[in-house]
């Protein structure tokens, strides 16, 4: 695809500063920009590259003031980081696969919508439904009575167990598992563990993205729920009966124990952990490697440490700890 600077500005509600007719064919990082590419500057840490880049077009924030001469055409937008995400999407248009590859398996009474891609060795169970334009890559397993919404992409090796529901325009990356059994065992008098049947399902709403090797367990009863717009990184564990609120983002290697509920617009750093049966208020921020062992009632709280505490209290405690350590040397 080829786009002019003016076409990019029109799509992103931006303003051109320079040659509006210059053509770009791909997106590149600003430090590796070359003629025919479009780059972006959102973090001023990389501003030095702006004055040396050979890129044809650079997206910048509308209020950016350059400190030197720039050869590239600028497109000024409200938020360069958001704008480049949309721009990459423009270049990606038309890259979707279509058609059915062989061999594949579609069992009886399964419904396949229009313009669906089925990769080789994919498996669609009985009474399952695949919406229009879905992309089912090779070696994807979809169990019985599963619903996959229109435009959703399941990358190679994804496993979706029976009766789970995935909304529209979701992206699930390689080897993620949706609907495996929750970790439920009842201790007996004999010192053994009796498996508790996991009879529920997983419900994933629209516009959710799930990273590679992430696992979302089915509910013991009812549903494990991932609300609309949630973004999950790679290698995350979501236990049975958890609910993750709309537009929450969780970084890699985090884990949420059973029946915990996260509110909307939460942000969770890598390797964070949550105990079970908690309620976490909306817009909570949890730092990397934090351990949340109690419910969070106040919206907008920021937590750090293990056990996790308010970030201001944590920083004061850390300052004292650091000072004590220096005295001991």
Given this model, what pLDDT does residue 93 score?
66
pLDDT band, residue 329 (cuts 50/70/90): low
Active site residues: 240
Q: Is the pLDDT of residue 328 over 60?
A: no
Given this model, what pLDDT does residue 92 score?
75
User: For residue 243, what are the β-bridge partners?
Assistant: 225, 261
Q: How many domains does the chain have?
A: 1
pLDDT tens for 222-270 read 999 999 999 999 999 999 999 999 999 999 999 999 999 999 999 999 9
Given this model, what pLDDT does residue 178 score?
98
SS3 for 69?
coil
Residue 33 within any structural domain of the chain: yes
pLDDT band, residue 90 (cuts 50/70/90): confident
Residue 9 within any structural domain of the chain: yes
Given this model, what pLDDT does residue 37 score?
97
SS3 for 90?
helix
CA torsion 91-92-95-96 (nearest 10°) is -150
Asked if 253 and 270 touch (Cβ cutoff 8 Å), the reply is yes
Contacts of 229 (CB under 8 A, 6+ apart): 205, 206, 207, 208, 246, 247
Residue 85 within any structural domain of the chain: yes
SS3 for 108?
coil
- What angle do helix axes 5-12 and 80-92 make, rounded to 10 degrees? 110
Range of the domain at 51: 3-92
Q: Is the pLDDT of residue 303 over 90?
A: yes
Residue 171 within any structural domain of the chain: no
CB atoms within 10 A of CB 327: 6
Given this model, what pLDDT does residue 63 score?
96
pLDDT tens for 200-221 read 999 999 999 999 999 999 999 9
Provide the whole-model pTM.
0.89
Given this model, what pLDDT does residue 322 score?
85
CB atoms within 10 A of CB 47: 15
Instruction: Give kind and range of the element (H or E) at residue 314.
Output: helix 311-327
Residue 71 within any structural domain of the chain: yes
How far is it, in rounded angstroms, from Cα 165 to Cα 185? 25
Residue 217 within any structural domain of the chain: no
pLDDT tens for 101-117 read 999 999 999 999 999 99
How far is it, in rounded angstroms, from Cα 204 to Cα 244? 10
Residue 328 within any structural domain of the chain: no
Reading the block at residue 52, the tokens are 């040396």
Residue 272 within any structural domain of the chain: no
For residue 77, give the CATH number of its domain. Answer: 3.40.1390.10
């Amino acid at each position: 695809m080829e786009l002019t600077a003016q076409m990019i500005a029109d799509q992103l509600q931006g303003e051109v500063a320079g040659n509006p007719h210059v053509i770009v064919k791909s997106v590149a990082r600003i430090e590796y920009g070359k003629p025919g590419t479009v780059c972006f500057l959102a973090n001023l840490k990389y501003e030095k590259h702006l004055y040396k880049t050979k890129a044809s077009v650079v997206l910048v924030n509308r209020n950016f003031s350059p400190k030197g001469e720039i050869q590239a055409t600028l497109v000024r937008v409200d938020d360069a980081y958001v704008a480049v995400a949309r721009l990459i999407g423009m270049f990606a248009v038309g890259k979707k696969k279509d058609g059915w590859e062989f061999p594949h398996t579609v069992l009886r009474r399964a419904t396949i919508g229009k313009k669906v891609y089925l990769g080789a060795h994919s498996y669609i169970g009985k009474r399952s439904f695949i919406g229009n334009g879905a992309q089912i890559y090779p070696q994807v397993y979809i169990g019985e009575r599963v619903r996959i919404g229109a435009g959703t992409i399941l990358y190679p090796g994804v496993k979706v167990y029976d009766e789970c529901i995935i909304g529209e325009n979701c992206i699930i990356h390689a080897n993620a598992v949706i609907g495996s059994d929750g970790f439920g065992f009842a201790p007996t008098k004999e010192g053994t563990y009796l498996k508790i049947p996991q009879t529920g399902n997983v419900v994933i709403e629209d516009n959710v993205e799930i990273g590679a090797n992430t696992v979302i367990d089915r509910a013991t009863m009812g549903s494990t729920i991932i609300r609309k717009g949630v973004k999950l990184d790679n290698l995350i564990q979501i236990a049975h009966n958890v609910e993750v609120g709309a537009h929450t983002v969780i970084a890699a290697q985090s884990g949420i124990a059973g029946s915990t509920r996260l509110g909307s617009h939460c942000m969770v750093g890598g390797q964070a952990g949550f105990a079970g049966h908690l309620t976490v208020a909306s817009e909570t921020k949890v730092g990397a490697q934090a351990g949340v062992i109690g419910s969070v009632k106040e919206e907008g709280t920021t937590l750090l440490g293990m056990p996790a505490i308010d970030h201001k209290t944590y920083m004061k405690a850390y300052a004292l700890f650091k000072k004590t350590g220096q005295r001991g040397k």
